[in-house]
Amino acid sequence: MQRDLHAMSATDYDLVIVGGGITGASTAWDAALRGLKVALLEKDDFAHATTSGSSKLVHGGLRYLVNGELKLVRESLRERRIWENVAPHMVHPLPFVLPTYGWGMKGPIVLGIGLALYDLLSFDRNWLSDDDKKLPGFRRVSKGKALDLMPSLRRENLTGAMIYYDCQMFAPERLCLECIEGAVEQGADAANYAEVTGFETQAAMGRGVRVTGVHVTDRMTGESVTVRGRVIVNAAGPWADKTMAMADETPARRLIRSKGIHIITRDISGANALAVQSAIGGHFFVIPWRGLTIIGTTDTVFEDDPDELGVTAKDITDFLAVVNDGLPGLNLKREDVIHFYAGIRPLVDTTPQEVPGVETGESAKDAEKKDSYNASRAAEVYDHGAEEAIDGLISAIGGKWTTSRHLAEQVVDLALKKLGKSAKCETHCTPVYGGDMARLKTYVVRAQKRHAHLAADVVENLVNFYGSRIDEVLATADERQGERETLLRRLGPENATIGVQVVHAVRREMALHLEDVVFRRTGLGTAGHPGVDVIGQAAELMARELGWDATTLAREIAETTRQFDTIPGAQREAAE
C-alpha cells in the first residue's frame, strides 16, 4: 500500500471517498470489489478518530429495543454475524452479564422477554462455519452465581442475572485498515494525511452544480493537488457536516456529536463483560480485553471542534464516580486507571431545522440540550443531487461501527446508479484482508508450528493483528540483508510485538508518524504506555526507514507520549 498523491491527481476515478474511518474504508472495499476505480483520502491517519475510539464491540444494540428500533437491531445482529464470518481473527463472541433487580422493569421477567426477542431477531447468529464463533441463547443465573461472576455488583434488590452474547473486536483500528488494504489489493488508491479543503465544481445541465473533484492539501509536504472523480462520497464521520459546508454554507444535515470516554484498568471481570446501570450516569459496560478491562462509555453532547477532542482529568474523575455508583464494591481510584481514550459518535440530528418565518416549536433552551444518549444510531445516505442540486455528492452520516459495512453497501448502490453501472455487493461474503482462514484456533496452532523459531505468544499476536497475512509481515524481515535477527526480536521483554511489525507498517501500511505505529498499526500503546524503551525502539526503527534526524525523532517521541496524558481542561471545567 503506497501513498502517491501526485499519481492520484493524474487519475480519473469513479469514486473519491473523503474520510478514512470505518465508513470510508468499508465503502472503498465494497466499491473496489464491484470493479469501480476508487480513491480514499483521510486528513489524519486511517482510523484515528471515532473508529479507534469505540468500545470495541460488534453488537446488536440491546437497549435500542426499548426505543422500538427493531429494524436497527435486526440490521445490527445480521451485520454482527457477517463480521464474524469475514474477519474471524478480529471479531469474537463475548458473554455479557446483565444483573436483574426486583421484579419490575429491571427484573428477570421483563429482561427475559427483551432477551428472548433479541435472540429471535438474531435467528441467523449461528450460520457460521467456525463452531467457536457460535453464540448461545440467553440464560438466567441465580443471585449467588451473579455475585460469583462479579462480586462488586450492587446487592440491594439483586435477584440474579441474565447472560447473553454479543461480539468484540480485537483491534477496530486494524480491522478498518484491513478494509482499506483489501480495497487497495483490488486496485483502489489511498492516502492518509491528505486533507480535503474544498470541492471542484462545474455548472450542471439545467440547475445547480456538479461536484467533479476535491482539492487536497498534502499535510506531509504542504503541496496542494486536485483529485477528480465522477462521484464524491462524504464519509467524514464527526466532520461530515463540515465537509458538507464546503459545498453549501448551510449543511443539508446537522449532527449531534456525542463524546464517549473509556478507561482501561486491571482485569476485574474475568471472561465476562458486564452491563451496568448507574443512577447518576446511565448505563456502561465492563469489558474484558487483552487481559485488562475496558470500562465505558460516557455519552455527552460535544459542541467543540472535533479536532479538539481529548480526555480531561475531570472526565476521568466524573466517570469513576459513575462506575463506583453502579458497582459500589469496586471502589476504583484514579491510580487504577492504566489508560484512557475518547471518541465522538456522529449522530444524525432529527430535530426540525429552523426555516425563516416558520415556527419550529423548539425553544433556544431546548436546542442547547440535545440528547445524545437517546438519539438514534441509525445511519442516513443523503443524495445532495436529488435535494440540493449539488450533483455528484453523496454523504454517509450517522450509524455505528457494527452496521458500517451495510451503510457502505447502500452508498455504493447509489453511486453505481449515478454512474449507470450495475454490480452486486460482495463484502458480506468476502474475507477482509487477513480474514481468509477456516477456523481461527486451528490457524493459530498451525502458524505456531510453521514459525517455531518464534515464541508462541508472538505468533498468536501476529495472527491477531494480521490474520492470514502473517507470512507477508514476517517476509519483510528478509528484504534487506542483515535485518532478520534484529527485526524478529521483541520490542520489550513483556511485549509480544516484534520489530518487523514496525518496519512493515512503514513499508507496506503507510505509517508516517510514530503514533501511527504505536496506536493504529501494532497496538503498542492502545492498552497503556508500553514503556520508554519500547517506544524508543519503535521510533529508532521508523527513523531508519524514514530518514528522521535527531530533532524529528525527539519530536515524534514527544508527540506520541503526549497521547498518554490528559488534556488541559481546567479553565473550561471551572467555567462549567
Q: Which residues contact 335 (CB under 8 A, 6 or more apart)?
A: none
The number of angstroms, rounded, from the C-alpha of 179 to the middle of its chain's C-alpha atoms is 12
Instruction: Using alpha carbons, select from 182, 175, 171, 194 the residue that is nearest to residue 45.
Output: 194
CB 216 within 8 A of CB 20: no
Q: What is the pLDDT of residues 23-57, one digit of tens each?
A: 999 999 999 999 999 999 999 999 999 999 999 99
Are residue 164 and residue 71 in the same domain, yes or no? yes
Query: What confidence tier does 415 reach under pLDDT thresholds 50, 70, 90?
Result: very high
Q: How far apart are CA 500 and CA 485, in angstroms?
A: 10
Whether 289 is in a domain gets the answer no
Per-residue confidence (pLDDT) for residue 374, from 0 to 100 = 60
227, 8 contact by CB (below 8 A):
yes
For residues 280 and 321, is the Cβ–Cβ distance under 8 A?
yes
Question: 524 is in which domain, residue-wise?
Answer: 440-564
Q: How confident is the model at residue 376 (pLDDT cuts 50, 70, 90)?
A: low
Looking at 143, 170, 197, the residue that finishes a domain is 170
For the segment 209-216, the average pLDDT, to the nearest whole number, is: 97
Q: Please, which pLDDT band fits residue 387 given cuts at 50, 70 and 90?
A: confident
Residues 153 and 39 in one domain: no
Going by the DSSP 8-state scheme, the letter that residue 129 receives in this structure is S
Q: What pLDDT score does 47 carry?
A: 98
**C-alpha cell, 239:** 466532520
Residue 451's pLDDT band (cuts 50, 70, 90): very high
Distances in Å between the Cα of 131 and the Cα atoms of 58, 206, 359, 431 are 18, 57, 57, 17
- Percent above pLDDT 90 for the chain: 89
Look at residue 349 in the predicted model and tell me its pLDDT: 85
Residue 378 pLDDT: 80
Q: What is the pLDDT of residue 362?
A: 44
What confidence score (pLDDT) does residue 541 get? 98
Alpha-carbon span 335 to 333, nearest angstrom: 5
Picking from 390, 419, 448, the residue at the C-terminal end of a domain is 419
Q: What pLDDT is stored for residue 366 in this prediction?
A: 45
Whether 394 is in a domain gets the answer yes
| Average pLDDT value over all residues in the chain | 93
Asked if residue 504 and residue 465 are part of one domain, the reply reads yes
Mean pLDDT, residues 92-96 taken together:
98
The label of the residue with cell 521483541 reads 490
Nearest-angstrom CA–CA distance, 46 and 538: 19
What cell does 136 get? 448461545
Span between the terminal Cα atoms of the chain, in Å? 46
Same domain, yes or no: 245 and 386: yes
Radius of gyration, CA atoms only, the chain: 24
pLDDT of residue 363: 41
Residue 85 three-state SS: helix
pLDDT at 169 over 60: yes
CATH of the domain at 530: 1.10.8
In sign, the C-alpha dihedral spanning 196, 198, 204, 206 is positive
237-242 long-range Cβ contacts below 8 angstroms, 24+ apart? 237/19, 237/21, 237/23, 237/49, 237/50, 237/51, 237/344, 237/346, 238/49, 238/50, 238/306, 238/344, 238/345, 238/346, 239/19, 239/43, 239/306, 240/19, 240/346, 240/395, 240/396, 240/397, 241/397
- The predicted model gives 318-345 an average pLDDT of 96
Rounding to the nearest 10 degrees, give the CA dihedral for residues 153, 157, 160, 161.
-60
Q: Say how far apart CA 212 and CA 391 lie, in whole Å.
A: 9
pLDDT at res. 353: 54
331 is a domain residue: no
Pairing of strands 38-41, 189-191: parallel
pLDDT tens digits for range 506-560: 999 999 999 999 999 999 999 999 999 999 999 999 999 999 999 999 999 999 9
Q: What is the pLDDT averaged over residues 10-31?
A: 98
Q: Are residues 390 and 535 in the same domain?
A: no
Q: Where does residue 66 rank: exposed (0-12), middle (13-18), buried (19+ CB within 10 A)? A: exposed
pLDDT in tens, 434-447: 999 999 999 999 99
- As to burial, measured by CB atoms within 10 angstroms (0-12 exposed, 13-18 middle, 19+ buried), residue 567 is middle
CA 231/CA 16 separation, integer angstroms: 6
The C-alpha atoms of residue 270 and residue 267 are separated, in whole angstroms, by: 6
Give yes or no: residues 379 and 245 share one domain.
yes
What's the confidence (pLDDT) of residue 371?
61
CB 348 within 8 A of CB 238: no
Contact 387, 253 (CB under 8 A): no
pLDDT at 360: 41
CATH number for the domain harbouring residue 191: 3.50.50.60
Question: How much is the pLDDT for 249?
Answer: 84
Residue 373: predicted pLDDT: 60
Same domain, 165 and 186: no
DSSP assignment string, 384-425: HHHHHSEETEEEEEE--GGGHHHHHHHHHHHHHHHHT-----
Same domain, 242 and 357: yes
Taking each continuous run of H as one helix and of E as one strand, the counts in the chain are 20, 21
**Are 118 and 202 in the same domain?**
no
d(CA 519, CA 527): 9
| Dihedral, 95, 100, 106, 111 alpha carbons, nearest 10 | 50
Q: Name the band, by pLDDT with cuts 50, 70 and 90, for residue 359.
A: very low
Is 378 in contact with 69 (CB distance < 8 Å)?
yes
Note whether residue 283 is domain-resident. Answer: no
Residue 365, pLDDT above cutoff 50: no
Count of the separate structural domains present in the chain: 3
* Contact partners, residue 145, CB within 8 Å, separation at least 6: 160, 161
pLDDT of residue 281: 85
* Residue at 572 is within a domain: no
One-letter identity of residue 316? I
- Strand pairing report for 38-41 and 12-18: parallel
Among the ranges given (226-235, 341-350, 421-430), the one the predictor scored with the smallest mean pLDDT: 341-350
Q: How many CA atoms within 13 Å lie on the side-chain side of 173?
A: 23
Please state whether beta strands 255-265 and 300-301 pair in parallel, antiparallel, or not at all (unpaired).
antiparallel
CA distances from 373 to 376, 403, 414 (A): 8, 18, 30
Chain segment 460-518, per-residue pLDDT in tens: 999 999 999 999 999 999 999 999 999 999 999 999 999 999 999 999 999 999 999 99
pLDDT of residue 124: 97
Write down which residue in 170, 201, 231 finishes a domain: 170
The string of DSSP letters for 510-540 reads ---SHHIIIIIIS-TTTTS---HHHHHHHHH
> pLDDT (tens digit, 9 = 90+) per residue, 181-193?
999 999 999 999 9
Residue of 460, 461, 436, 438 whose CA lies nearest to 524: 461
Q: Is residue 335 part of a domain?
A: no
Distance CA 476, CA 431 (A): 23
CB 386 within 8 A of CB 380: no
| Any domain includes 541 | yes
- Rounded CA-CA distance 164/147 in Å is 16
Give the H or E element holding residue 379. Answer: strand 379-383
Q: Is the same domain home to 534 and 481?
A: yes
* Cβ atoms 502, 528 nearer than 8 A: no
Which grid coordinates are listed for 218?
498534502
SS3 for 231? strand
Mean pLDDT of 309-329: 96
State how beta strands 224-234 and 209-218 pair.
Answer: antiparallel
Residue 528 resides in a domain: yes
